[in-house]
Amino acid sequence: MKQFRNMTYPYILWMTIMIIMPMLLILMYAFTSKGNDVATIQFSLQNFSRFFSDAIFVDVLKRSFYIAVITTLLCILFGYPAAYIIANSQEKNKVFLLLLITLPTWINMLVRTYAWMGILQDDGIINSIITLLGMKPIKLLHTNFAVILGMVYNFIPFMILQIYTSLTKMDKSYLEAASDLGANKLQSFLKITLPLSLPGVISGITLVFLPAVSSFFIPKLLGGGQFVLIGNVIESQFLTSGNWNFGSAISFIMAVIIMISMYITKKVEANLNTMEKEKTE
């Protein structure tokens, strides 16, 4: 037991330095006023009142949620069929299909986003094909479409893998029993497969929505600065404006929103697991 405790000390030290201390600094800056030295710093809520009283920042927050919700819905729409196909494919094909899904994640997300800039630009691959077909080029880069496309591309593997895990853990005997009772494939899917895979969908929503709502370099690169999200505001306050107090206040607001979202999704997932156990019993 003592040896096990000694093994936890490096992790506790790392967590203290990399997580706890930065969070304490964010709290200190968020709830204090900007000053030139320690003596002039005072407790204040003006950073929060400034954020909620300014319609521009509230609109940016709404836009961030809108983009994140659209991204999450599209990831579910395209990710669920992909996960379903992989889960029901032959064993020798599953490894290859999973490799196709996870292979892009081996490359840095920033590099993948830069690649999409080359594809979507005015003289990129898509517009070159459109021009060859005798049509006029389409404005793709620096649009709302480009931002959502970049987010879906980067985050959809997390959705697919979570749903795939739930589908593979599902007891296939339920489907056999439904078939014996006269249910067709659609009825079996709606009554058995879909409800049993919902915990995976909920986990996928958590892994997609939370990074999407706080993303900053995808809208910056693919949106060209025209589609400012809350992550871009936080970045500008720290790196451009140098207003760490206001940037920390926005970061704290987002941290609270993210924790509330995680709590809700965990409660929903726990309720779904409870309902699943009750049905099996």
Reported as a pLDDT band with limits 50, 70 and 90, residue 76 is very high
Q: Is the pLDDT of residue 120 over 80?
A: yes
Q: 119, exposed or middle or buried, with CB in 10 Å at 0-12, 13-18, 19+? A: middle
Q: What is the mean pLDDT of residues 85-113?
A: 89
Q: Is the pLDDT of residue 161 over 90?
A: yes
167-193: pLDDT as tens digits: 998 878 887 787 777 888 888 888 888
DSSP string, 214-278: T--HHHHHHSTTSS--HHHHHHHHHHTS--HHHHHHHHHHHHHHHHHHHHHHHHHHHHHHHHHHH
The upper half-sphere exposure of residue 111, i.e. CA atoms within 13 Å in the direction of its Cβ, equals 5
Amino acid at 128: S
Q: Is the pLDDT of residue 148 over 90?
A: yes
Residue 241 φ then ψ, to 5°:
-75, -25
Q: Is the pLDDT of residue 280 over 60?
A: no
Structural domains of the chain sorted by starting position, each given as residue range(s) with its CATH number in brackets: 55-280 (1.10.3720.10)
Q: Is the pLDDT of residue 46 over 80?
A: yes
Q: Is the pLDDT of residue 262 over 60?
A: yes
